[in-house]
Amino acid sequence: MAAHRRRPRRERQGPAHFPVGCIEDERGAEDALDDEPRRGRRAEFRSSDRRGCHARAEGRTGAQAGREPRGANHPTAYRALPPFPDIRGSCPGPIRQRVHRTPLQEHGTVRVCRNATPGCNLQPPASPLCPRPRNPTHSFPADHPLEIDMRTVRMLGNCGVDVIDLPDPDPDPATGDEVVVQVMSSPLCGSERHAWDGPSRMGANNVLNAGHEGAGIVAKARGSKYVREGDRVVLHAAAPCGSCRYCVAGHWVLCDRPPGRRFPGNHSQYVVVNERSCLPLADDISFETGALFGDAVGTPFRAIKRLGVTGFDTVLITGQGPIGLAATMLCRFLNARTIVLDINPFRLEQGRQCGADVCVNPAEEPDIRARLAEIAGPRGIDVALECSAAPEAQTLCLDALRKSGRMALVGVSGTGPTIDTMQHFTLKEIEVIGTWYSAPTDHEELEALVRRGLPAGDMVTHRMGIEQAPEAFDLFFGGEAAKVVLEPWD
């Protein structure tokens, strides 16, 4: 059979250490387990009748095998595995290997019985790199391929979410511009509500979840012009073509011909994205903070920058979800006076902790417009940032703005406010803009703000592993959390 070599990750260096008997072996289990590992030898992966990749440790160097020897920095050099722990017990039947992944480290291996062999009492210990192996006593059918699977969130609609196994994705060689990113942080966004409580499950174009914020490490970058394997990146939600007039101007989210795919969505251990969507993340910025740059912090930052907010302004912010909290934090960082509104007491308190000067619950005020006029004083409200997506709040912002005031519609809404064109626009001459997402030019500015002390991570109230995704969505959309972040490798 033709041998082929599997391309590994960039971070692993050095030789491979495989116990000879740890791969599917037709000998008795006790004989296989007694084999000593051959350290420092090359390992080849062979394919057999589409039954997955099987490793055989061979005592050959690259030169002896008739190929060029490969150094530790060669892109296909294998990386060192730690010694595999001994397996206690015995099994009269054949055995095979199950591989579990951990971030930025080598594979931990757990050997299990291929069939439910009578008399099997193998007790596979947890690898130090995989302390919680998935289904360590699972029995594989005889024709089950040895695959390395990732975990991903699947949004089922009707407020349902589950977590499933998928084969690790690969870039599409036909496009030549896709990369695979190992997702280290994937925040939940309020715009995902439409997929979460929609009437049907996601599945169009093989997209299984609506995750679009994230940061991670490039795992596969075959022929990429912009990133290399091992690069730390922020995943921008837009996939720009790079040549239309909007992309040239830096407005990626307005691209006329967005290329590529985001499979299966950022709420996964690995995701396929267009290489242009990967923005570099500096080493001194955490993955969690970087994941907030694209949308949660980046979207209000773009609106605030376009409106020219300064320390002389009084700013009204309606809604204290993740976008509203980030807007509050940014305006406070710019020394603007901030008035925040929300009907959720928990999120209103989060706004106070993020630096709001005045917090008001509209449900407790008999006349909210009169109350805002009292707080703002004779100068009035200079800037309004509508982050709740509620039509009533949009109308309130238009009413509360002073003459020649500025306003941004940041929240995603399917309906709009009640507009009096004469009173709101003609006589007051206000300026209203919309903001859909951040621009790539905002990325370095946000990094600079974090280095100067912007506490972007303070808006995160819950960090949960990918297996807790159903609880995370219930918590987030139930209004019991501010910003929830999934950590796929926790």
Number of domains comprising the chain: 3
Give the Cβ contact number of residue 139 at 10 Å: 13
Asked whether 188 and 475 are in contact (CB, 8 A), the reply is: no
The answer, as to whether pTM is greater than 0.85, is no
The 10s digit of each residue's pLDDT in 424-474 is 999 999 999 999 889 999 999 999 999 999 999 999 999 999 999 999 999
Query: Does some domain include residue 390?
Result: yes
Same domain, 343 and 254: no
Query: Does some domain include residue 463?
Result: no
Same domain, 321 and 422: yes
**Which residue, 248, 269, 268, is CA-closest to 257?**
248
Q: Which domain holds residue 26?
A: 3-113
Q: Which residue has the higher pLDDT, 73 or 210?
A: 210
Copy the structure tokens of residue 209.
Answer: 């979840």
Query: Does some domain include residue 177?
Result: yes
d(CA 256, CA 75): 36
Same domain, 29 and 158: no
Model confidence at 383: pLDDT above 80: yes
CA torsion angle 262 263 268 271 (round to 10): -70
Same domain, 156 and 285: yes
Query: Does some domain include residue 288?
Result: yes
The whole-chain average pLDDT of the chain stands at 77
Same domain, 302 and 331: yes
Same domain, 253 and 326: no
The 10s digit of each residue's pLDDT in 90-102 is 444 443 333 333 3
Same domain, 170 and 277: yes
Same domain, 324 and 430: yes
Same domain, 174 and 283: yes
Same domain, 359 and 281: no
Query: Does some domain include residue 104?
Result: yes
Residue where a domain stops, chosen among 61, 94, 113 = 113
Task: Report the CATH number at residue 427.
Answer: 3.40.50.720
Helices 441-451/298-307 angle, 10° precision: 100
Q: Which helix (H) or strand (E) holds 398?
A: helix 391-400
Same domain, 190 and 324: no
Model confidence at 60: pLDDT above 60: no
Residue where a domain stops, chosen among 96, 113, 130 = 113
Model confidence at 410: pLDDT above 50: yes
Peptide bond before residue 378 is cis, with ω within 30 degrees of 0: no
Model confidence at 353: pLDDT above 50: yes
Q: What is the reported pLDDT for 120?
A: 47
Query: Does some domain include residue 138?
Result: no
d(CA 369, CA 352): 21
Query: Does some domain include residue 123?
Result: no
Model confidence at 411: pLDDT above 80: yes
Query: Does some domain include residue 256?
Result: yes
Task: Report the CATH number at residue 475.
Answer: 3.90.180.10
Same domain, 282 and 193: yes
Render the burial of 338-358: b for 16+ CB within 10 Å, e for the rest. bbbbbbbeebbebbeebbbbb
Q: Which residue has the higher pLDDT, 81 or 404?
A: 404
